Structure 1
Amino acid sequence: MKKILIATNNKGKAKDFESLFGPYGFEVQTLNDLEQDIDVEETGVTFEENAVLKAETVSKLLGIMVIADDSGLEIDKLQGAPGVYSARYAGEAKNDEANIDKVLSELQGVPEEERAARFRCVLAVAGPGIETVTFSGSCEGTILEERRGSNGFGYDPIFYSPEKGRAMAELSPQEKGQISHRGAALRQLEARLPQLLDALGGQQ
């Protein structure tokens, strides 16, 4: 089976890509599947910069096509924070619960109409002899005052989708995919997939 590498250690993100590439006969691998330890320092100040940095760095190391994702939560009341620091908002340990607690604490007492937020995602595709391309998506919502639901990961329990009338963590994976920032970026990627896989096919 042909393989494609997603430059992430996040199992939740990997599942999103498996559903996209599985029908094309590709096995999705992540950094967790590699014998070598690859950790790209995310020094960019935007999601796009970080996604491109990860994709190009890992692609050059391994000599294959790589897809990298950088995504996070932007809250208007917090001037766009946590933004690119979403995964480490409460510290370097990447603790989802601690990150959620910090956001809820910072928005304590803020009325519903001032809790607007969005999830944003940028995918970067890099490979030998291929010009790096990016795809982006966003999902608008508001920040709840308490957690709801047990699905998803990250900030999903406190992100309310007006379109679905529920928190992101209360949605099934299929429902989430219909409206999510990553789902939107993946649909853009899917539109270009035959062209990208033609290029990838010559590398296998």
Structure 2
Amino acid sequence: MRRVLIALIAVVLGLAACTGEGEIADFGPGVPDDEQPELPADGGLDVNEVAAPGEAPPADAQLEQVDWSEAAAWIRRENEAGRPVVINFFASFCEPCKRELPLLLDTAAAETDVAFLGVHTMEQRELGVQMVDEYDIAFPTFHDPSGDVVFEVGGRGLPHTVAFDTDGRLVSRVFGELTATNLDQLLSEVR
């Protein structure tokens, strides 16, 4: 069942490419937020409850392919160092993802007490490599071709940004394009 849901989300996200400013590709056309299907993260998410893989991806990973258990292990390692984690999900077909990157990169450079992670999702790795190079993404990035990671955090479209506190709990999210205001709110909630 889980694989079917992941596949469904991947298809919907792939078909409903990001459009105008501040808009996201919703889970389904015309489905209000309060009628969205419930996803696992909607009931709360704690990375400490995720079975650990053999080894966490490198702290400075660049488009290393991961699944949810590996991403959770990476978050736990940052938490052990006393840092909350902000994860931004992106894809090359998503124009709002591209527009928010300069703000995200500037904030990541200034907020050294917070770990930032990019997750290139549901596309070929080569498209992620091009995007990382074009935008000079300096923070670590993962490649999530199946959409496993975005599914587990309750993603319903792109762009999507989530924040985990230092206890490994998902405490905040932004559906849609980041602005200075909603990114500041997300950071204040994660600290």
Asked if TM exceeds 0.5, the reply is no
Q: TM-score, length-normalised on structure 1?
A: 0.28
Q: TM-score, length-normalised on structure 2?
A: 0.30
